[in-house]
Amino acid sequence: MMGYSHSLSGAAAWLAAAPVVALVAPMGPREVLMGAVVTAGGALLPDLDSVGSTASRALGGASRGFSRLVRHASGGHRQGTHSLLAAGLMGLLAQLGVVLGFSWAPVALVLWVGLRGLKLLRSAKTVLLAFAACVAGVVGLHYAGVGMSWVGVAVALGALAHLVGDALTPEGVPLMWAPWHRRARRYTLSLFTTNTWPEHLVVTPILVVGILLLGRLSLVG
Ligand SMILES: [Zn+2]
């Protein structure tokens, strides 16, 4: 799927899961809203194995080399980064940042990617400047009392939503991929091809309506 659809799927997954997540990590409307954007960002991270992806472009020129490195290490596009193991590791790394007191770093990074993915921020003079604004925003939210204990779950959930989205396309995803199991079976429902009319006219509108309905349920009740 395209970056925009992936972002929407992440936000929708978060809003659907928020009542359950709230059982283990206390959340109010501010956390739910922020979590939707963080999960939207998490839903773009698996495509860091592709130089032209939304996540890679959102992180600026320096990410080209990083994406090539990720692609090489994970065995190519839609290989290692599109596995359950990778989704879990992404969530774990983000949570580690929160536990160690560096929540501003992973949260600002994923928040920035999510804002770009959802097309809420189309352009910025420099990526560094925009990222600095995100860091300032996250630090401000932290001091305003916004909890961050849900971040790891949000990032992992976003990555899982990405895997589901790509599993709808013919290329599928190697869910059980691991460094010791690189030829994992690819799972696919083969419902539509990326960037064709079913994605634009069916999947994207369903996700937008889902977000509006779930958002109303989560925030208004
Ligand atoms: Zn993908």
Q: How many C-beta atoms lie closer than 10 Å to residue 53's C-beta?
A: 22
Q: Which two tokens stand for residue 83?
A: 């596995």
Mean of pLDDT values over 44-62: 88
Q: In the 8-state DSSP scheme, what is residue 83?
A: S
24-50, pLDDT tens digit by residue?
A: 888 999 999 999 999 999 999 999 999
Closest CA to 44 of 14, 76, 13, 1: 1
**Which tens digits make up the pLDDT trace of 65-81?**
889 999 999 998 999 99
Gap from CA of 79 to ligand 1 centroid (Å): 9
Does the structure show a pLDDT above 80 at 60? no
| Share of residues in the chain with pLDDT > 70 (%) | 97
pLDDT at 62 over 90: no
Write the pLDDT tens digit of every residue in 178-193: 999 998 999 999 999 9
Do the beta carbons of residue 63 and residue 178 sit within 8 Å?
A: no
**Residue 181 φ then ψ, to 5°:** -145, 65
pLDDT at 125: 64
Higher pLDDT, 218 or 14: 14
Q: CA dist 189 to 22, 153, 210, Å?
A: 31, 26, 21
Given a cut of 70, is residue 221 above it in pLDDT? no
Q: Taking all residues of the chain, what is their mean pLDDT, rounded to a whole number? A: 91
Q: What is the reported pTM? A: 0.93
Confidence of residue 210 (pLDDT cuts 50, 70, 90): very high
Reply yes or no on whether the pLDDT at 177 is more than 90. yes
Confidence of residue 17 (pLDDT cuts 50, 70, 90): very high
Q: Rounded to the nearest whole angstrom, what is the distance from the C-alpha of residue 169 to the centroid of ligand 1?
A: 10
What SS3 string covers the chain? Answer: CCHHHHHHHHHHHHHHHHHHHHHHCCCCHHHHHHHHHHHHHHCCHHHHHCCCCHHHHHCCCCHHHHHHHHHHHCCCCCCHHHCHHHHHHHHHHHHHHHHCCCCHHHHHHHHHHHHHHCCCCCCCCCHHHHHHHHHHHHHHHHHCCCCCCCHHHHHHHHHHHHHHHHHCCCCCECCCCECCECCCCCECCCCCCCCCHHHHHHHHHHHHHHHHHHHHHHHCC
CA of 113 to the centre of ligand 1 (A): 15
For residue 163, how far is its CA from the centre of ligand 1 (angstroms)? 7
Distance 140 CA to ligand 1 centre (A): 32
